[in-house]
Amino acid sequence: MRKKQLFSLVTCLLVLSILIGGCMSMDNKTIPVVKKYPEKPITIIVPFSIGGASDLIARSLEKTALQHLGQPLIVVNRPGGAGNTAWNELASSPPDGYTIGITGVELLLQSLYEPAKYNYPTALEPLVQIATSPVVMVVTTEEGWSSVEDLINYAKSHPGELKFGHGGIGSIGHVTGETFAKSTTIKLEQVPFRGATEGLAALLGKHIQIAFLNPAVIKDHVQNGTIKVLATTGENRLQDPVLKDIPTFKELGLDIHFSNFFGIAAPKELPLASKARLAEGLKEMINDTEFKKNMANLGLEIEYLDAKDSEYKWITDRQRLSQTIQETGILEIIKSQKK
């Protein structure tokens, strides 16, 4: 009897010690902590120089980032290669949500010209589209051309004399200029720059006679009378009060209708939770009253698209642009110039 009692007591003590040990093990075990995103500032890469539309959009987003994302945005300009320099850096960045970048139509165009380090439409994923904008053809008021017809007539009587500037080989401004020259059978010499502000400075300095730029960078110069806008590539006229009287190329009988878009993208394979948080915060920033006011002042029209709709637009726009530049022969012209 005593042996049975002793055995039971030992058994109970053994079980108790196992239970106590297990509890102690649980207490000492390190439980992984799920980090809340974002925990530090987010870098936003701008593919063109300071003062251009992409840069101004990024700096407008920067103003409300802390309020809507909980962390500041750090704006970094990486001009060069009509966007290639910036998008190469973005595509090679860790997909952790701490490096994002401004996108534009050049992201789609560059992949059509020749094999590059990255195929941007597949190496990057869109988060949002912010705004759209046509390209405008501008000259200085000193030139004396009051219309596109005046410029064409001058170019035909002075073949090869006129130069046009744009934001880099293969950029939307470059494509527009080459399309204009081909459509009107005039000869223009193209001059690439690292961004719209450099092209504008060259125009004002009389190093070039024509520039194909974004409306955001020329509005102040139009108001003070130093620059005249002859035409826009939009399907419809611009809504901005300062620019609303500019005719479209389509109105003038020329089949030239290109548009740019401005959005935000991240490296592929961004964690779903980080992607959702970024998309949510960016949407709030785009809908912010101050941001909308800034875009209106720049002459840009907000056209928000979420990640899914932006991806669809990338696909359809790329197909349309590919067809256009091949059918017009612009693709071969640009390929030869890139060499």
Residue 32's pLDDT is: 45
Query: What distances in angstroms separate CA 329 from CA 41, 42, 171, 233, 334, one per listed residue?
Result: 45, 41, 16, 19, 9
Residue 15's pLDDT is: 40
CA pair distance 223, 212, nearest whole angstrom: 18
Instruction: Give, for all 339 residues of the chain, the pLDDT tens digit.
Output: 444 444 444 344 444 444 444 444 444 444 444 468 999 999 999 999 999 899 999 999 999 999 999 999 999 999 998 899 999 999 999 999 999 999 999 999 988 987 778 999 999 999 999 999 999 999 999 998 999 999 999 999 999 899 999 988 899 999 999 999 999 999 999 999 988 889 999 999 999 999 999 998 899 999 999 999 999 999 999 988 999 999 999 999 999 998 999 999 999 999 999 999 999 999 999 999 999 999 988 888 899 999 999 999 999 999 999 998 898 888 998 888 877
CA pair distance 5, 336, nearest whole angstrom: 98
**Nearest alpha-carbon partner for 129 in 2, 16, 17, 259:** 259
**Nearest alpha-carbon partner for 126 in 106, 154, 102, 158:** 102
Are residues 171 and 83 in contact, defined by beta-carbon separation less than 8 angstroms? yes
- pTM for the full predicted model: 0.83
Rg for the chain, CA atoms, rounded: 28
Domain ranges across the chain: 42-132+261-327, 136-258
Residue 338's pLDDT is: 77
How does DSSP assign 104-139, residue by residue?
A: -THHHHHHHHS--S--HHHHEEEEEEEEEEE-EEEE
Enter the CATH code of domain 42-132+261-327: 3.40.190.150
Residue 196's pLDDT is: 86
Asked if the bond preceding 38 is cis, omega within 30° of 0, the reply is yes
- Identical fold, 42-132+261-327 and 136-258: yes
Q: What is the CATH architecture assignment of 136-258?
A: 3-Layer(aba) Sandwich (3.40)
How does DSSP assign 168-231, residue by residue?
A: STTSHHHHHHHHHHHHHT---EEEE-SSHHHHHHHHHTTS-SEEEE-GGGTHHHHHTTSEEEEE
